[in-house]
Amino acid sequence: MQKEFYIGAKGGEDSHTLDVSPFTSLEQLTRALADIFAFADTRSLWLIDQQGNHISTLKDVQETNDLIELRVTRYESIREPPGPRSLPFVGNHYELYPDVLGNYDRLFSLYGPMIKTVNMGTTIFHTNDPEIARHLLREDKLFTKTTSDVTHPLYYMNDQDALFTCDTASPAFAPSHKFVPPTMSPRAVAHFMPLIQEATQSIFTAFDELAESDRAINVYQYMFKLASQIIWRVVLNQDLKHFESTKTPPSLPIRLLGQYLSLMKKASLQPQWFKYLPFGDAAKVKQVRQQVLDICEDAMSSCIKKDGPPLYLSDPTALQSATCVADFLYRARDKEGQGLPYDLVLGNVVSTAGAGFTTSSSLLSWAIYALVRYPGNQERLFEEIVGHRGGNGIDNCWTYDEIHSMKFLDCFIKEVLRLHSPSFQTARNAKKDAILPGGYLIPKGSIVIACFPSIHKNPAHWENPLRFDPDRWMEEGLAAQMGRQGSYTPFAAGGRGCVGFNLALTQVKVVVAELVYRYEFEDSSPEPVVYDPEFLVVRPLNFYAGITRRKESP
Ligand code: HEM
């Protein structure tokens, strides 16, 4: 018993003839149809006859002589997401820049939860819908991360030898994903606590001097140096000496990594034919990348114990014998005795260092921004920290459990990550024509971005979304629940989610605890704070803060 099913416009190419006689229930049939037409959500499928009536039983399907339309919602056909009209050459560039984040929100409120934009010839779909984001991040038969695709925002830094920059389909992904996450587990981060604390405290001399001289600082520039100082210590056990004076510039590896990421982002915003030019940003990305690799390789030669014993993944205490992430990656062995090939060790060292400090420096800057801009939080944090530290003084090292046991600090950081999410363009590629919740058709090969800053402020999912309110996180388990729903994913989710989130959260909590215990910050920004729309993460450009050394620290 052959029936013809179709999606979208009648008479279009998207139709399929299916013998419905083997099916014993409508549910069974709709699951099969969902699979054939690549519906992300197999549960909500409407069958509609040519008069627009809902066909709700298998018997009705068998008896109708009509073509049958498939929809996700009762009254709307499957369609491509809408979006603003495109101008020749530039597309929607001026609808998006310079305030991309504000403009995404504006476009979502105009066009709905999925929008199509074209920037300099590159089409990208965006969503602020948590349910759609969950499907995108799943790494299943419909969506994956393919940085080697020229339209992927990370195309210019795609490197098939490391996490973050590789395709999920690349041969490097599985071994990297086996060896790298153990270096960022709670147990591993607990082992690195003294390094994190020492690197954090290295800023004190410079901050004391700045406090003394009453000079305001550009917060991002200091957090950029601090976050990289910490990550470099944990990943390569090297002291970058970023705070020998108040004016010490970022060290060469960090300057190069910063330049690399900046060039990469700029290149990704240019028309695609720019990549063929022998000069310009795209060409320079490659040169800078090689310099970064050389520097990291050099640093690795000092921190890796080449003659040290192998460290087995099956031994939960093995990491405690490693000096740093690079040392562990070099010496780690799986149960077959296999290690990570050297190229992948190097690639993953560069990737974790780069992914680690760019994001963290942004988060730290926004954390200080939240301290000074949202009244009451700095005082509450100080009280909590004093309560924990008590008479132990500032020289004692925070333990992993202690730093994570401070409830208000935890809520505060969660709220900073919600309202000032550093990540804003986690992109996935459609493996085939796919139909997303809401009935949006995403053509095969398209890039779809889950816009975390917009998802985290989506009024349909958050009460008072624009209010900075750490107390919303007081309810135990809320973050995990919102994470499962897709409405709170500052570290993305699924198979390509952040592997460094434990380290990131621990590091940022140690820094905030240490700084708030010793200093008081106040806003000294002369102008409204703006973020950099041409960088890989959302970072404040002109946020200034004054620092006062606390007198009342016990
Ligand atoms: C505030 C801090 C951080 C934020 C907001 C953050 C966010 C993210 C996000 C959104 C992704 C997914 C990217 C994508 O799919 O394109 C990611 C991936 C990743 N992150 Fe983080 N991250 C942070 C800190 C760190 C740290 C400290 C490390 C390690 C030192 C790290 C290592 C990685 C790696 C290796 C990946 C790639 C995972 C993969 O390819 O499967 N991140 N991060």
Compute φ and ψ for 308, nearest 5 degrees.
-70, 160
CA 356–ligand 1 middle distance (angstroms): 7
Q: Which domain holds residue 369?
A: 176-420+488-549
State how far the Cα of 184 lies from the Cα of 372, in Å rounded to an integer. Answer: 31
State how far the Cα of 168 lies from the Cα of 86, in Å rounded to an integer. Answer: 32
Name 388's Cβ contacts closer than 8 Å, sequence gap at least 6: 402, 405, 406
Per-residue model confidence (pLDDT) at position 380? 98
pTM score of the predicted model:
0.94
**pLDDT higher than threshold 70 for residue 351:** yes
Pick the residue with more confidence: 114 or 65? Answer: 114
Per-residue model confidence (pLDDT) at position 270? 65
State how far the Cα of 512 lies from the Cα of 409, in Å rounded to an integer. Answer: 8
Per-residue model confidence (pLDDT) at position 503? 98
**pLDDT higher than threshold 90 for residue 214:** no
Ligand 1 pocket, CB under 6 A: 145, 163-164, 231, 351-352, 355-356, 359-360, 363, 422-423, 426, 490-492, 496-500, 503-504
Half-sphere exposure of 382 (CA within 13 A, CB side): 20
Helix (H, G, I), strand (E, B) or coil at 491: coil
Q: What is the pLDDT of residues 47-103, one digit of tens each?
A: 999 999 999 999 999 999 889 999 999 999 999 999 999 999 889 999 999 999 999
Which segment of 239-248, 343-352, 375-384, 394-403 scores lowest on mean pLDDT? 394-403
**pLDDT higher than threshold 90 for residue 286:** no
The three-point CA angle 347-491-172 to 5° equals 25
In a domain, 321, yes or no: yes
Q: Which amino acid is at 540?
A: P
Query: Which ligand 1 atom is at minimum distance from the Cα of 507?
Result: 27
**Residue 514 and residue 371 in one domain:** yes
Per-residue model confidence (pLDDT) at position 535? 85
Q: Which of 19, 42, 71 is the last residue of a domain?
A: 71
pLDDT band at 553 (very low <50, low <70, confident <90, very high): low
How far is Cα of residue 328 from the mean position of the Cα atoms in its chain?
A: 25
Q: Which of 26, 50, 71 is the last residue of a domain?
A: 71
In a domain, 211, yes or no: yes
In a domain, 81, yes or no: no
- Pairing assessment for the beta strands 426-430 and 447-450 based on DSSP bridges: antiparallel
**Residue 370 and residue 239 in one domain:** yes
State how far the Cα of 526 lies from the Cα of 344, in Å rounded to an integer. Answer: 46
CA 158–ligand 1 middle distance (angstroms): 15
DSSP calls for 248-282: PPPPHHHHHHHHHHHHHHHHHTS-GGGGG-SSSHH
Q: What is the pLDDT of residues 370-395, one digit of tens each?
A: 999 999 999 999 999 999 876 555 56
State how far the Cα of 514 lies from the Cα of 6, in Å rounded to an integer. Answer: 61
In a domain, 135, yes or no: no
CA proximity to 435, closest of 3, 124, 143, 17: 143
What is the ipTM metric for this complex? 0.98
Percent pLDDT > 70 in the chain is: 95
Per-residue model confidence (pLDDT) at position 272? 65
In a domain, 108, yes or no: no
Question: 547 - beta bridge partners?
Answer: 521
Mean pLDDT of 182-204: 96
Q: What is the pLDDT of residues 2-61, one digit of tens each?
A: 999 999 876 666 899 999 999 999 999 999 999 999 999 988 899 999 999 999 999 999
Q: What is the pLDDT of residues 494-532, one digit of tens each?
A: 999 999 999 999 999 999 999 999 999 999 999 999 999
Per-residue model confidence (pLDDT) at position 285? 82
State how far the Cα of 282 lies from the Cα of 147, in Å rounded to an integer. Answer: 15
Mean pLDDT of 244-272: 85
Per-residue model confidence (pLDDT) at position 264? 81
Mean pLDDT of 363-371: 98
Binding site, annotated residues for heme:
498
Question: What number of other Cβ atoms are within 10 A of residue 6's Cβ?
Answer: 20
Q: Which of 71, 91, 108 is the last residue of a domain?
A: 71
Per-residue model confidence (pLDDT) at position 139? 96
Per-residue model confidence (pLDDT) at position 283? 74
Mean pLDDT across the chain:
93
Per-residue model confidence (pLDDT) at position 391? 54
Alpha helices in 420-546 (DSSP H): 452-455, 478-485, 501-518
Per-residue model confidence (pLDDT) at position 271? 67
Per-residue model confidence (pLDDT) at position 552? 59
State how far the Cα of 73 lies from the Cα of 156, in Å rounded to an integer. Answer: 38
In a domain, 285, yes or no: yes
CA proximity to 134, closest of 40, 44, 62: 40
User: Six-digit token pair at 96?
Assistant: 């998006």
Q: What is the pLDDT of residues 217-232, one digit of tens each?
A: 999 999 999 999 999 9
In a domain, 298, yes or no: yes
**pLDDT higher than threshold 80 for residue 274:** no
CA 501–ligand 1 middle distance (angstroms): 7
| Domain count along the chain | 2
Helix axes of 219-236 and 186-201: crossing angle, nearest 10 degrees: 130
CATH assignment at residue 54: 3.10.20.90
CATH assignment at residue 302: 1.10.630.10
**Residue 65 and residue 187 in one domain:** no
Per-residue model confidence (pLDDT) at position 550? 94
Question: What number of other Cβ atoms are within 10 A of residue 470's Cβ?
Answer: 23
Per-residue model confidence (pLDDT) at position 42? 82
In a domain, 134, yes or no: no
Alpha helices in 92-159 (DSSP H): 93-96, 100-111, 130-136
CA 114–ligand 1 middle distance (angstroms): 24
Residue holding tokens 């054939």?
36
The best mutation among 164, 200, 257, 357 to test binding of ligand 1, ranked by most ligand atoms within 8 Å of the C-beta, falls on 164
CA 499–ligand 1 middle distance (angstroms): 6
Per-residue model confidence (pLDDT) at position 123? 93
State how far the Cα of 176 lies from the Cα of 400, in Å rounded to an integer. Answer: 25
